[in-house]
Chain A
Amino acid sequence: MLLQQAGPAGAHPLSGTVADYLWLLPLLPLLGFVVNGWLSLASAYRAGPTDPGAAHGADGQDGHAAHDATGGGAHGDDHHPVARHRYAGLVSLIGPGVLAAAFVLAALIFLAMRSAADVHTPFVQTYFAWMPAGDLALDVAFQLDQLSMVMILIITGVGALIHLFSVGYMRDDPGYARYFAYLNLFVFFMLVLVLGASYPVLFIGWEGVGLCSYLLIGFWFNDKANADAGKKAFVVNRIGDFGFLIAMFMLFANLGRLDFAGVNAAAASLPVGGPVVTAICLFLFLGCIGKSAQIPLYVWLPDAMAGPTPVSALIHAATMVTAGVYLVARSNLLFAMAPVASLTVVVIGAVTAIFAASIALKQWDIKKVLAYSTVSQLGYMFVGVGSGAYVAGIFHLMTHAFFKALLFLGSGSVIYAMHAAYHATHSHDDAQDMRNMGGLKRYLPVTWILMWAATLAIAGVPPFSGFFSKDEILGSLFLRAGHSTLAEAHWLGMPGSVVLYVAYVLGLAAAFMTAVYMTRMMLYTFHGPNRTGDREREHLAESPWIMTGPLVVLGVLSVVGGWFNLPALIPLGPVGALDRWLEPVVGASALRITGGAPVEASHGTEIALILVAVAIALAGILLAVVRLKPERLVPKVESPAEHGFEKVLADKYYVDEAYDAAIVQPLVGISRGLLWRGVDVGIIDRLTRLIVQSKDDDQAVGTSVPMGGWLTRAVGYLGSQLQSGQTGTYAWVLVVGVLFVLGAFTFR
């Protein structure tokens, strides 16, 4: 590989350090994928426990006669324990092992970065020329700067913990090796995404994580619902990818460059706030809408819960869905130049936050609650990066990775216990429905405590991490609503400041709802009487240490994560560490939005904002504790149906049904009626029958005329006339041919 460290005039401060091994970082999980993938396929050729994927869809051979793929009623998350995978031991070593190694390397690189002298510019390693095509000169290159460092640490750190968790969670799944192969591949692509030095390389990672998401959502693809969920995720993502591609085309057409350094340098030539840069940013954001599940393309995320729970934790909470936020932060220069686009980001983020939070209020499946919660929290992140508070957005991304992964893994622990209980009694009840749970704190105490830690974090209660990040976002939003280029701009006719204030109010309301539904979840799951069933109760037990260990680590991070960016008002430790760390990457754009100087608020305003946020969080928890009575719940099968507005919330505002009616059915109808029947059968098949005779098509439909191969026979008949056997005719043909040749020369 040809490694070139690029930097302005002279070597980069990071070259010559361990950062030179940057390429090793994605390579490790890729190696894991190759080895695990080979192991998953190798066992397919011997009579081992049958993984549905390895045996190409043929499930069975596991001795269980009536293997019901839908198992416990909920789509996904089902596997009847069979014999462990043949190579489970090796896979357990390699899968998490490469992640741990990658995290160690990331930590070393981070230390090198910290100790290096001023690192203003990204450290770029170019590997080879990918597309030297005329004006377009794309290289495959990785770049390391402070922003990608943060993302790398999150991905490898949280990823390693989730891999460890999966060792316990998926231990009896016949697809064990395939699972880790896909998971490793996902980490590889995610690292490529955050390390890419240009939009196309980023896009490779973007598409790759989409692919792995599809593979992992539909992991238990024997159940059609799971396969459909995977398809839905991929197709909806595609719509966003279209936007991303258009943005790249526009970038190339207007700036001629696609690498980040080149784009940032050339962007100065575009008029600020002009149509070009606004359009580019809007199309980029369309990609983010798809990938990060914002309105209107969020519909795939709740369905994605069909995959294994650790997958939901890693992909749909901590990393893949945050790729959109990363993209906006990476393109901060462009977004800072386009106030209208930034306002759009804020609006959509805020509306999504409150919309998803409202749906989560009425969901009964524990994973669905968390899914909508993720959508809502992603909205917060976009509010952050959209309003120019890039550091706040990335900070929330980080803390959200901690507590959301903890929540998902914790719910995985719960589901694991419920599953074991139902399996022991051969019950087919829903292991994920909260109405079947209750009072689990007696049986899963470690999980209970840690999940409360995460709940307090997500609700925004100090001193947990979520409080700091959420408060920073809302606080920055409020201040920018008063004084920033966004406030002076106009969004759909409304003044920007009004829009931002409204977004602030929506953010507060969503925070309130967040506290409510999270407390509701905790109450219904862990408190009150147990509704699982008398026979199942004796099988409920805490998960093994390999699953609770990562929970503990994430719990600690959820509690102390706020230390990474303490506000000036609460100097419990180093203030604004993340602020200073990310300053070389996003500092200039943030300043541009706040009008040249960091926006300062008076002490009074800041204290007021903090108090408002805390009050809202506590009020939400209080409301939930007072109003919701877990004792009144009954198990799912006996639960009454919903009525009125509650039904609307429970049915997710019928958005999926609306999409189905407005988009899916017409498309299917056109495909079937017009394209298939009309064009395919009507035109193309008829043409084919005209040329080729099949013995079944001796007669045209409705007539008694033999149609098959008519054209061929006609041409053949004509052709046969040429061979009359008459020499005179041949002489004629010869002379006519000579005339033609001479004519060609004559009229050359």
Chain B
Amino acid sequence: MLAESLFFSAVLFTIGVVGVLTRRNAIIIFMCVELMLNAVNLTFVAFARVYGAGGQVFVFFVMTVAAAEAAVGLAIIIALYRHRQTVDLSNINLLKG
């Protein structure tokens, strides 16, 4: 089952990447990142079956950090929305050089 799991994982990851590249809504982009993380989790779990339980422990940590990241990221989006009244990323370009 290892190869199939990796296949699914790769496809999910790619879908996440495409989503990040093509969407403009900040929240959607954020969720695409979460999708990528999930794909990676699948890889870890699949390999854990072959190499040992360390993979599952890693998934544990990924989830924890993803939770923390989601919290902080959404707080940033809220602050951004309050400031700019939009979450459209093409309008948020103050770092223009």
Contact = CB atoms under 8 A, between A and B. Distances in A.
The answer to whether A and B assemble together is yes
Interface of A: 720, 722-728, 731-732, 735
Contacts of A723: 95-97
B35 interface: no
B90 interface: yes
A727 B21 contact: no
B93 A731 contact: no
18 contacts: A720-B97, A722-B97, A723-B97, A724-B97, A725-B93, A725-B94, A725-B96, A725-B97, A726-B89, A726-B96, A727-B92, A727-B93, A728-B21, A728-B89, A731-B20, A732-B21, A735-B17, A735-B21
Contacts of A726: 89-90, 93, 96
A720 to B, nearest CB: 6
A724 B92 CA distance: 10
Given A724-B96, A726-B89, 13 more contacts: A720-B97, A723-B96, A724-B97, A725-B93, A725-B96, A725-B97, A726-B93, A727-B89, A727-B93, A728-B21, A732-B21, A735-B20, A735-B21
Nearest to A721: B97
Question: Which 4 pairs of residues, A with B, have the shortest CB-CB distance?
Answer: A723-B97, A725-B96, A725-B93, A725-B95
Contacts of B90: 726, 728
A728 B92 CA distance: 10
Nearest to A730: B95
A724 B17 contact: no
Contacts of A731: 20-21, 29
Contacts of B17: 735
B24 interface: yes
Interface in B1-29: 17, 20-21, 24, 29
A479 B51 CA distance: 99
Contacts of B97: 720, 722-725
A727 B24 CA distance: 9
B26 to A, nearest CB: 8
A287 B93 CA distance: 74
Nearest to B23: A728
B92 to A, nearest CB: 7
B28 to A, nearest CB: 12
A722 B96 CA distance: 9
Interface string B63-97: 00000000000000000000000000110111111
Contacts of B92: 725, 727
B42 to A, nearest CB: 19
A722 B97 CA distance: 8
Contacts of A727: 89, 92-93
Nearest to A734: B20
A725 B96 CA distance: 4
A719 to B, nearest CB: 9
Contacts of B21: 728, 731-732, 735
A254 to B, nearest CB: 65
Contacts of A724: 93, 96-97
Contacts of B29: 731
Contacts of A728: 21, 24, 89-90
A722 B21 CA distance: 16
A325 to B, nearest CB: 75
Nearest to A736: B21
A573 B6 CA distance: 109
A732 B24 CA distance: 13
A150 B97 CA distance: 81
A732 B89 CA distance: 13
A735 B18 CA distance: 10
B21 to A, nearest CB: 6
Contacts of B24: 728
Contacts of A735: 17, 20-21
B70 to A, nearest CB: 18
Nearest to B89: A727
Contacts of B96: 723-726
A732 B90 CA distance: 13
A731 B19 CA distance: 11
Nearest to A720: B97
A400 to B, nearest CB: 81
A728 B94 CA distance: 13
B25 to A, nearest CB: 11
A735 B17 CA distance: 8
A172 B21 CA distance: 89
B78 to A, nearest CB: 17
A731 B21 CA distance: 6
Contacts of B95: 723, 725
B97 to A, nearest CB: 3
A731 B16 CA distance: 12
Nearest to A732: B21
Contacts of A725: 92-97
B73 to A, nearest CB: 13
A727 B92 CA distance: 8
A731 B97 CA distance: 16
Nearest to A739: B17
A144 B97 CA distance: 76
Contacts of A720: 97
A734 B92 CA distance: 18
Contacts of B20: 731, 735
Contacts of B89: 726-728
Contacts of B93: 724-727
Contacts of B94: 725
B76 to A, nearest CB: 12
Nearest to B97: A723
A726 B20 CA distance: 13
A536 B94 CA distance: 94
A477 B90 CA distance: 100
B29 to A, nearest CB: 8
A496 B27 CA distance: 103
B36 to A, nearest CB: 11
A598 to B, nearest CB: 92
Nearest to B20: A731
A179 B20 CA distance: 82
B10 to A, nearest CB: 12
Nearest to B93: A725
A134 B38 CA distance: 61
A409 B12 CA distance: 101
B84 to A, nearest CB: 13
Contacts of A732: 21
B79 to A, nearest CB: 16
A38 to B, nearest CB: 60
B20 to A, nearest CB: 5
B81 to A, nearest CB: 15
A728 B93 CA distance: 10
A723 B96 CA distance: 6
A728 B20 CA distance: 8
Which of A720, A722, A723, A727 has the most chain B CB atoms closer than 10 A to its own CB? Answer: A727
B1 to A, nearest CB: 24
A728 B17 CA distance: 12
Nearest to A728: B89
B31 to A, nearest CB: 14
A722 B89 CA distance: 17
Nearest to B18: A735
Nearest to B32: A731
B15 to A, nearest CB: 13
Contacts of A722: 97
A735 B97 CA distance: 21
Nearest to A727: B89
A726 B95 CA distance: 8
